[in-house]
Copies of this chain bind each other. A is one copy, B any other.
Amino acid sequence: MKKIVDPQRIEDKSFKIIEGLLADLNLPKEQKEVVKRVIHATVDLDYARGLIFHPCAIEAGLAALRTGKNIVTDVNMVKVGIRREILSGFGGAVACLINDQEVVQSSSQSGYTRAAISMRKAHQLMDGGIVAIGNAPTALFEVCDLVRKGKARPALIIGVPVGFVGAAESKKELITLPVPFITNQGGKGGSSVAVAIVNALLKMTEVKGE
């Protein structure tokens, strides 16, 4: 068997397969691009109908990326998966404060998760930018709280934490916020899903900018 080893050919063939699988999915073109990247990263067709987009989500995300705003993530797995070579071309950066000295200390004193406390500490970095949460429901609850209190003003919240405790509930809270979001129903999610959504948007900045 001759294996395909060329990265571009692998990706092209994958997307052809995914497009076949999603032929009947009726979504705006750009939302569908995001869905395709998520399914490419998970091989989980639940995301075909499971992802939920605020109507302005794509537009808000692209504007934030193109104007060099920050991306704040809950965990380092999300941070390192983001294609920073495109982001840094616009002047943007990715911040994850989960291992920040103050955050670690405050977590062990308060009993709150480091992910939640890191959101509080990063609230100013979120201004006009993107928050991408792929792991911790407590981080998403905290961002919702910061937005409600007027302490954080992100342009887009990507909220796909994973788990049996709090993940689904935090997403239900997210979709009531007056802020563009991309999320999904239920407890599924994860770092790979958050990364796929961010990278789909980054890829769109390249195509649409031409």
Contacts and interface: CB of A to CB of B under 8 A. Distances in A.
Nearest to A76: B80
A81 interface: yes
A14 B81 CA distance: 26
Q: State the copy count for this chain.
A: 2
Interface in A23-66: 40-44
A68 interface: no
B165 A10 contact: yes
Interface residues of A, number: 45
A188 B116 CA distance: 29
Contact of A162 (B7, B43, B75, B167): B43
Interface string A71-86: 0000111011100000
A159 interface: no
Contact of A163 (B14, B80, B81): B14
Given A17-B164, A18-B164, A138-B5, A43 B81 contact: no
